Structures are given as C-alpha cells and as structure tokens.
Amino acid sequence: MTTAIALFTRDLRVHDNPVLHAAAAADRCIPLFVLDDAITSSSFFNANRAEFLSRCLTDLDASLRERGGKLVVRKGDPADEVARIVRAHDVTDIHVAADVSRYARRREQALAELGVDLHVHDASINAVPPLSLTPSGGGDHFAVFTPYFRKWETVHRRGVLRAPVRLTVPELSGELPGELHHGTPSPDLAEGGETVGRELMASWVRAGVHEYADTHDALAADATSHLSPHLHFGTVSVTELLDRTGTASEGARAYTRQLAWRDFHHQVLAARPASATKDYRTRDDRWRQSDHDFEAWRDGRTGYPIVDAAMRQLAREGWMHNRARLIAASFLCKTLYLDWRRGAQHFIDLLVDCDLANNQMNWQWVAGTGTDTRPNRVHNPLAQAGRYDPDGAYVKRYLPELAGVDPRYVHEPWKLPEDEREALGYPPPMVDLHEAADRFAAARGLRPHR
C-alpha cells in the first residue's frame, strides 16, 4: 500500500497541479497545507495575503471534498508536521513544488531528511524550471531578459494535467483554520480561490488578452489580467495559462512575454538568493535617510498626483497596476533617492500578489541595482503621467480631492490659480524634479542631466 502526501505551498489548486496529480496516483493521498509559523509570524505575511489565502484554502478544501477527500490543515513547522503524519500513517512518498527562495529550499532540505521518497516538482510554480536555462556564453543564470526570453520561448513545456477525479484520503485531524486574522485587509481586495481564479483566467483568455499589446500600459483602462495574486498563490497554473493564451494574437504574444518575466526573476533569485535583500549589482549607493520623505511617499502625499494615485491604489486594493509600480518605485529610489529595500518592504506589507522574486527583483530593476541594462533611467512622473494617463482618469479615480480638476491641471495642480489650489487640500510637490535628477546623477557619478 502506498500513501503519499501532497504538500501544498503556493500551488493551491486541483487543476494542473503536478504535486496533487502525482500524489493522487498512490493508494492513499494526504492533501496537506501547513500554516507555517515562520511565515505567518514574519514581516512577509500581511493582512491582504492572509485574507486571500483564507479564501484559497476554503475553496481548495471544497474542491477536494467534491473528489471524496479534504484538505488537512496543520499549523507549525512544515517538516515537523509532515514528519508527524509520516510516522502515524506509514507514508511512502512526499510531493512538493520546487520553489526558489532560500527559505523554500531549506524546507525542501528538511523534507528530504525525513527518510521517505521526496519528489520535488519543478514545473509547478514556474512554466520553465528556474536554472534549467543557462546562457551559451557561460554562467549559472541569465542576467539579461531578452536572451533569456529567446531561449525560454523554445522550451517544450509539460502538458496540462487534469484534476484528479477521486481521492482516497485516510482519516486525519486538521480542519480549516477559518479566517486568518492578521490585521485589516484593504477595502477593495480581490477575492481568492481557484474557482474565482479560473473564471478570471477563462474570461481573460477569451477576450482581454487580445488587446493586451495596445492597452497594458494605459493606467485608467486597467486592462491587464489581474491574475498576479492567483499566480502567486497558484490558484491558477502558469502552464495552463500559457497553454490557453496561445500565440495567435499580438496581445497573446505580448502577454506570454510578460509571464516570462516572472520566470526570469525567479531564476535570478534562485541563482542569487542573497539578492532578496542585497544589491544584485551594487552601484555603491549611499541612499538618503529621511523618514519624512518616505512617509510622504508611502501615504500618497508627495504632491505628484500620478505617484500619489499609485500609492493610494495600493492601500485601497492591495494591488497596483504595473506601470504605476514602475512610476512609484522610480520616484522613491531615483527621485527621492531612498533605499529600494524600504519601498520593497512597504509593497510586502500591502501587496496581495507579493512574491519575493518578483517584488525584490523588480524593485532592484527600477533602482538600477538589478538586471536593467539601463540602470540610471528615471521614470519622470510628469512625462509618465502625460503618456499613460493623458486625461487624468486614473489619478481622479484614486485621488478624490482632484476629481473636479480641469484635466489640463490634474497632473500639475500647483499650476492652478492660488485660491483653487488651496481649496483642493492637496499638498504641493515635495521635491523639484530637476534638482532631484541632478542629485541622483551626482550620486551615481553621472553628468548632470541639464
């Protein structure tokens, strides 16, 4: 008799799940999720992800019950909890998804020491396993996206796996935890769970994706997939998403490229785990220290509407449009010249899709300490606003105090007549963009920009 544990981590789905699929082939299968104390008590866990995760677990349990099983939920250290079950139920095999963080790899190591067969499924969280591709010129990972993408596109991906029809789960304690209280979630947080994720994926691949190439940067259109939290928690499989996206339209090809960025950042973190906290490529920055400036940025009070709208979207939804993330992050690191780690931690505190690889490596990309081949580029907030929010509709959505402002002034309210400006109750710009650009140029040893 074989008994296999399917240890769910951030692959909280029954469809196209290599871990569950393989474990379900045993005579008995134990679908297990461990609420890991080390994660839930760390600064990485936030109210938004706790709320989303709670929904994911409830939905997963319901799907497993439809198949004759249930989700066993334990609390503690994953390897300890798995060890307890291994001893009590004569477990022969453990299945888990490969992941890239240092912490995930230590967990994998601890599971390997339990004395039963451990199967680590590497095309589960990623479409192309991290570190399976290496540059022809040598090196253990790709540091530049374009050549990575060229290779990534040619990789033969595994087929999409069916959800198991029937599961035989032994009698085990470990009920759903109910709500995972961890502070107050954002008021407009998206709903979690595989059922919602699959509906979103279905409508996206049917309609939204085909316009993606033209609309993905238009802030007010909000025409991106919003699948990032589902990809983070694995309620949608990236392999299935790519399969269903196809490459027939220009939008589908542009979207596929974006999904490759996700794998790209994962392989960088897999190769250089220290870059979660340390510069991937140091520029010898001596970042300014200013709580005042950081708090103005964090609270959406910089006086630059496009930056403030981005930060208020984050607070309201626990999510932010990619273009807004670029603008807000560039403002922190390059305009205010504050350490990218402070900004990354604020995103960790609020983002529902926050992912160590994607968040830290994107922050480093924007700060110019990561993989950007133009590390000193600055996303000027006014130029970005004019280009990606030309009529100010995005700004007005998140900054009600500017809702009635003439579109000609919405990105530069300081140009309004004084009485109108004062009536808004909106702060003046906290920094002069030219001076900030000169400060950044000097810090990086570049020629002044003017």
142 is an interface residue for ligand FAD by CB under 6 A: no
Site stretch for ligand FAD (CB under 6 A), options 36-44, 75-83, 255-263, 297-305: 255-263
**Which amino acid, residue 146?**
T
Instruction: Output the six-digit token pair for 272.
Output: 């250089």
- The sheet with strand 72-76 has its strands ordered as 72-76, 28-36, 3-8, 93-97, 117-121
218 is an interface residue for ligand FAD by CB under 6 A: no
Instruction: Output the six-digit token pair for 136.
Output: 């022809």
**C-alpha dist (Å) from residue 316 to 49, 319, 346:** 14, 8, 14
29 is an interface residue for ligand FAD by CB under 6 A: no
Q: Is the dihedral of CA 234, 238, 244, 250 positive or negative?
A: positive
The residue count for binding ligand FAD (CB under 6 A) is 27
Q: How far is the CB of 234 from ligand FAD (least distance, A)?
A: 11
| DSSP assigned state of 332 | I
Site stretch for ligand FAD (CB under 6 A), options 47-55, 331-339, 359-367, 386-394: 359-367
Q: How far is the CB of 340 from ligand FAD (least distance, A)?
A: 8
Angle ∠(447,448,450) on CA atoms, nearest 5:
125
Site stretch for ligand FAD (CB under 6 A), options 51-59, 131-139, 261-269, 290-298: 261-269
Partners of 120 in the β-ladder: 96
125 is an interface residue for ligand FAD by CB under 6 A: no
From residue 374 to residue 413, what is the string marking binding to ligand FAD with x (rule CB under 6 A)? Answer: ----------------------------------------
The only residue of 359, 369, 371, 384 in contact with ligand FAD, by rule CB under 6 A: 359
**Alpha carbons 172 and 33: distance in angstroms, whole number:** 13
Residues 96, 121 contacting (CB under 8 angstroms): yes
262 is an interface residue for ligand FAD by CB under 6 A: yes
Instruction: Output the six-digit token pair for 331.
Output: 């403002």
Instruction: Between 58 and 358, name the residue whose CB sits nearer to ligand FAD.
Output: 358
Which residues of this protein are in contact with ligand FAD, per CB under 6 A?
216, 224-228, 231-232, 258-259, 261-262, 265, 322, 325-326, 329, 347, 351, 353-355, 358-359, 362-363, 366
